[in-house]
Amino acid sequence: MLIKTIKRPLILVASMSILAFGCTPSTLKINNKAEEQEANSLVIDWSGPYQGVPAFDKSTLDALKPALRIGMQENLAEIDAIANQTAVPSFENTIVALERTGAMLDRIFTFYSIWSSNLSTPEFREIQQEMAPILSQFSSKISQNKALFNRIKAVYESSELADLRADQRRLTELTYRSFARNGATLDAIAKQRYADINQRLAQLQTQFSNNVLADEENYVVYFNQSETAGLPDSYVAAASVAAADRGHSGQYAVTNTRSSMAPFLTFSENRELRKQVWSTYYSRGDNGDKYDNNALISEILTLRHERVRLLGYDNYAQWRLEDRMAQNPENAMALLESVWPAAVARVVEEVTDMQALADMDDPGITIEPWDYRFYAEKVRKLRFALDSDEVKQYLQLEKLTEAMFYVAGELFNFRFTPVAEGSVPVFHPDVSVWEVSDKSTNSNIGLWYLDPFARKGKRSGAWATSYRSHSTIDGKTNVLSANNSNFVKAPDGQPVLISWDDATTFFHEFGHSLHSLSSKVAYPSLNGGVRDYTEFQSQLLERWLMTDQVINNYLIHHKTGEPIPAALVEKIKAAATFNQGFSTTEYLASAIVDLKYHTADPLDIDPDTFEREVLSNLNMPSELVMRHRSPHFGHIFSGEGYSAGYYGYMWADVLTSDASEAFTEAPGGFYDKETAKRLVQTLFEPRNAINPADAYRAFRGRDASIKPLMRDRGFPVPQD
């Protein structure tokens, strides 16, 4: 999952609640701006090496609200200077000038996002809830600035546009469309309603996210030594640490995150405990208490629908997908529905195999959702003689990190070097930092931060973000990129062992960072992207985990130091399409429900009823549930980055499967120099400076086909 800092003037209706910023004039009044600014640790320019780095060691939460006031006031002054100038609007004095605004606020939101995602506390959540509507008002002040929009429109419609470089034309067009699509063309009454809706949505989406985090913190399943049957030693050790960290020494903890839940459901022989862990995880945001999200969902959907109706769209999905590769919800749904039958058919086969084994264990067992992973693992062992825990012994976090660096060096010519401890401030002792440089020139590209472990106050999942993006608008800026995971920390002195799925996700998120680090765009806003395209680059990087160079050199047994045996590798490859029914169906169900939510009339919608009815109409297998049930579906309800857009992972995977075949067809395989060079130059370096469809055709020589995707998943391939 990608989270990135969005350049302030562009796309001001924030894609995530943490980036929905705004205020009213009264909230911006500061008696002595210079004095307050000088004393505020979050406002000051970043100093130190690498063109300056965030002073995480000096950041204090009590500085946050004053910093936001200062940053917003400065940003509004910058906007007014552009909007009220008398010079004839031009690309340079309007579009480029807009690109130069908001630098201080960008810095402040780096700290804000860390508190939101990595270090959340009750104190921060109070600030977040208080500031969300104020920040949204501020956003509206910019997006609804008539004088500013008139200047943007003048450049967009001017004869100058034809004389600009292609990336400059695209920046102008994206800037114009972002304002037009976010209310700039509305009359005064509609603009006010639009702003009011955004303000309320900012509150609701922030509350949704905080409610999920509260359930992840509050609902932890503890168990005793007598209940550890079937669990790998490494999991038991990590669960002991997790329990001790929460004041339950002598017990074991299953934290309410996927990285803790999934292996427990895979290996635990205690069926009742599996059911408890499963229920706890899939009930996040749905417990009928003060953190229940169902009412929030209903209001969010209603307000989103009303807002896009003001702009003339029939539904939210129509508005959201207009500027994405899919273009409209019909195209997105057509892709999902084309894969659904094959996925469900595979689930039927998987359940039949699992039920046969369950009948041997206990004739009274019928496969339930909390049994799926457990019996799937039994089938895997029986059919492929493949034990997931055996594989895990070769998946050391430290070695996998080295493997990613190797891939980055071969494909991107990057070198990763650990920075000296203490030379770059970090926000938590778990965070490590590497310098990224060009291997040929030794020139610095930026820094890469890694925050790998789960802890209280850190949201679940895995994601990438950028603290500073590349541009050359005022000289080349170095990139500050970060990856964040929720691996369970091992006891001191022991390696962190992760599952194959988690290793794949680790590579995936690193792909987002490589996309950021490889940027060659001139203008900050072009570091953004089309969401059903930007997942493609990260999904593609997953393929290098299975390359021989990585397998032979980095998948090393944590005790013996021996590389993973060739026979075990062959088992992994043979089982590559195993359980694709489960993984594809749970994903597709979430993506389809997302689109259904955002194309339906939301009047009086009840999320629980709606979710059940959509899944029932799909003939959703009863043995599994959608990957993200509605009350904790943060992708689409904690913000708007993936709302009506969760399908994008599948859209991007069509590109991924097709692009990977470009490497399998090349003489040098996945390390073919010419193909890698073309990959970087056409699909990574340009970011959003060119249309994604054009970028892909430049790499592949044609549009992508769905056939490689179906082959990759072991599904029937459609005929021409």
Q: What are the pLDDT digits (tens) for 321-367?
A: 999 999 999 999 999 999 999 999 999 999 999 999 999 988 889 99
Burial degree of 231 (CB within 10 A; 0-12, 13-18, 19+): buried
**278 part of a folded domain:** yes
CA triple 427-433-435, angle to 5 deg: 140
Single out the residue of 464, 486, 496 nearest to residue 399, CA to CA.
Answer: 496
Q: Is the pLDDT of residue 82 over 50?
A: yes
β-sheet bridge partners, residue 416: 436
Burial class (CB in 10 A: 0-12, 13-18, 19+), 158: middle
Instruction: Give bridge partners of residue 575 from the DSSP assignment.
Output: none
Q: What gap in Å lies between CA 434 and CA 452, rounded to an integer?
A: 14
Distance in angstroms (rounded) separating the CA atoms of residues 415 and 413 = 7
* Cβ contact 203:133 at 8 Å: yes
Q: Is the pLDDT of residue 212 over 80?
A: yes
Task: Kindly state whether residues 45 and 160 are assigned to the same domain.
Answer: yes
Average pLDDT over residues 472-498: 95
**Measured distance CA(483)–CA(505) in Å, rounded:** 11
| Res 39: pLDDT | 66
Q: Are residues 31 and 168 in the same domain?
A: yes
Question: What's the N-to-C CA distance of the chain in angstroms?
Answer: 34
Let me know: does 474 contact 96? Beta carbons within 8 Å: no
Helices (H), 385-451: 388-392, 397-412
- Regarding whether 60 and 174 lie in a shared domain, the answer is yes
pLDDT in tens, 112-168: 999 999 999 999 999 999 999 999 999 999 999 999 999 999 999 999 999 999 999
Residues 94 and 40 in one domain: yes
Under the banding of pLDDT at 50, 70 and 90, the label for residue 37 is low
Does residue 110 sit in the same domain as residue 249? no
User: Does residue 265 share a domain with residue 170?
Assistant: no
Q: State percent of the chain over pLDDT 90.
A: 92
Encode pLDDT of 535-577 as tens digits: 999 999 999 999 999 999 999 999 999 999 999 999 999 999 9
Of 146, 164, 187, the domain-final residue: 187
The residue-averaged pLDDT of 278-304 equals 97
559, part of any domain: no
User: In whole angstroms, what separates CA 447 from the centre of its chain?
Assistant: 20
Parallel, antiparallel, or unpaired for β 252-254 and 221-223? Answer: antiparallel
Q: Which two tokens stand for residue 672?
A: 């073919």
Residue 408 backbone phi and psi in degrees, to 5:
-60, -35
Domain boundary among 229, 257, 282: 282
Q: How confident is the model at residue 604 (pLDDT cuts 50, 70, 90)?
A: confident
Do 111 and 245 reside in the same domain of the chain? no
Report whether pLDDT(13) > 90.
no
Residue 429: exposure state from Cβ atoms within 10 A (0-12, 13-18, ≥19): exposed
Helix 64-83 to helix 122-143 angle, to the nearest 10 degrees?
10
Instruction: Give the position of tokens 């969902």.
Output: 297
Q: Do 659 and 712 belong to one domain?
A: yes
Query: 182 and 229, same structural domain?
Result: no
Distance set, CA 339 to CA 134, 535, 714 (Å): 43, 19, 11
Average predicted confidence (pLDDT) for the chain = 93
Integer Cα distance of 157 and 403 in angstroms: 49
- Residues 69 and 23 sit within 8 Å (Cβ to Cβ): yes
pLDDT given at position 719: 83
Residue 419 pLDDT grade (very low, low, confident, very high; cuts 50, 70, 90): very high
Would you state the pLDDT for residue 250?
96
Give 253's contacts (C-beta < 8 A, 6+ positions apart): 220, 221, 222, 239, 242, 243, 246, 260
User: Residue 30: is its pLDDT beyond 50?
Assistant: no
| Residue at 691 is within a domain | yes
DSSP letter for each residue of 87-140? SPP-IIIIIIHHHTS-HHHHHHHHHHHHHHHTS--HHHHHHHHHHHHHHHHHHH
Q: For position 29, what pLDDT does the model report?
A: 39
Decide if pLDDT at 525 tops 50.
Answer: yes
Q: What is the pLDDT of residue 34?
A: 57
Pairing relationship of beta strands 221-223 and 463-468 according to DSSP bridges: unpaired
Residue 499 covered by a domain? no
pLDDT band at residue 529 using 50, 70 and 90 as cut-offs: confident
Q: Residue 346: left (phi > 0), alpha (psi -120 to 50), or beta?
A: alpha
Domain residue limits at 682: 531-545+648-720
What is the average per-residue pLDDT within 20-30? 32
Asked, for residue 489, whether it belongs to a domain, the answer is: no
**pLDDT tens profile 691-701:** 999 999 999 99
Tell whether 161 and 239 lie within a shared domain: no
Q: What is the pLDDT of residue 114?
A: 97
> Domain count of the chain?
3
Residue 224 lies in a domain: yes
Residue 110 covered by a domain: yes
Average pLDDT over residues 251-268: 96
**% of the chain with per-residue pLDDT over 70:** 95
Q: Which residues contact 686 (CB under 8 A, 6 or more apart)?
A: 520, 521, 695
Beta-carbon contacts of residue 367 (< 8 Å; ≥ 6 apart): 351, 354, 355, 358, 375, 623
16 pLDDT band, cuts 50/70/90, is very low
* Residues facing residue 291 across a β-bridge: none
Number of Cβ atoms within 10 Å of the Cβ of 639: 23
Residue 561 lies in a domain: no
pLDDT greater than 70 at residue 207: yes
Q: Are residues 26 and 133 in the same domain?
A: yes
Radius of gyration of the chain (CA): 25
Instruction: Answer yes or no: do 662 and 714 share one domain.
Output: yes
pLDDT band at residue 612 under the 50/70/90 scheme: very high
CATH number for 174: 1.10.1370.40
* Least confident segment among 7-21, 210-224, 577-591: 7-21
